[in-house]
Amino acid sequence: MAQEASSSTSSKTISLKTGDGEIFEIEASAAKQMKTVQRLIDDLGDDITIPLHNVFSKELPKIIEYYKKDITGEITKDFEAEFVKDLNDDEVKVLFLAANYLDANKLFEFLSQNIADRLESKSVEYVRKYFGVENDFTPEEESKLREERAWSFRGIKEDE
């Protein structure tokens, strides 16, 4: 059964069930781009609904949209810009985590670069908040670090 699935035409669709119980369809060729999904298909067969416990109904459609464009070779810089334009920081992070869970390499790399681009000119304080990281330097240690590399603190954006 699994053998048949991998050699079938791209018109074959796979059913994916999110962690919150919703079902979405995706073309088999797009599913192949997500290694976790493909592994599940290989184990469970392509006729049953594939459960994705860690992906939810808010982000899966977006991911499906991305890979729909990918299999038709339509991913352009404009599409990618549009894709992330209205996402806030948390939404991008959630997509990023989902791409990681699904082992969807192309989307993962794209989102990695996008998050990096968002953070590139940000301040240290902003980045701490963004990642939920605590500052464990003493005030003296921190001011010493800043002094040593003062040049890297120039030209950063104001925190919103």
Binding mask 10-29 vs other proteins (x if CB under 8 A, - otherwise)? Answer: ---------xx---------
With CB under 8 A as the contact rule, the residue among 35, 39, 128, 157 that binds other proteins is 128
With CB under 8 A as the contact rule, the residue among 71, 75, 84, 97 that binds other proteins is 97
Binding mask 134-153 vs other proteins (x if CB under 8 A, - otherwise)? Answer: xxxx----x--xx--x-xxx
- The reply to whether 81 sits near other proteins by the rule CB under 8 A is no
Residue with the two structure tokens 């499906």: 64
In angstroms, what is the minimal distance from the CB of 26 to other proteins? 21
Please work out the total of residues on this chain that contact other proteins, with binding judged by CB under 8 A.
38
Between 5 and 16, whose beta carbon lies closer to other proteins?
A: 16
Distance separating the N- and C-terminal Cα atoms of the chain: 53
CA distance 14 to 30: 9
- Answer yes or no: are the C-beta atoms of 10 and 28 closer than 8 Å: yes
- The reply to whether 160 sits near other proteins by the rule CB under 8 A is no
Question: 104 has which bridge partners?
Answer: 34
The helix (H) or strand (E) run that includes residue 141 is helix 139-148
Between 21 and 73, whose beta carbon lies closer to other proteins?
A: 21
CA distance 143 to 69: 48
SS3 label, residue 17: strand
Enumerate the H helices of 45-88 as residue ranges. 60-71, 77-85
> Where along the sequence are the contacts to other proteins (CB under 8 A)?
19-20, 54, 56, 58, 90, 93-94, 96-97, 100, 112-113, 115-116, 119-121, 124, 127-137, 142, 145-146, 149, 151-153, 156
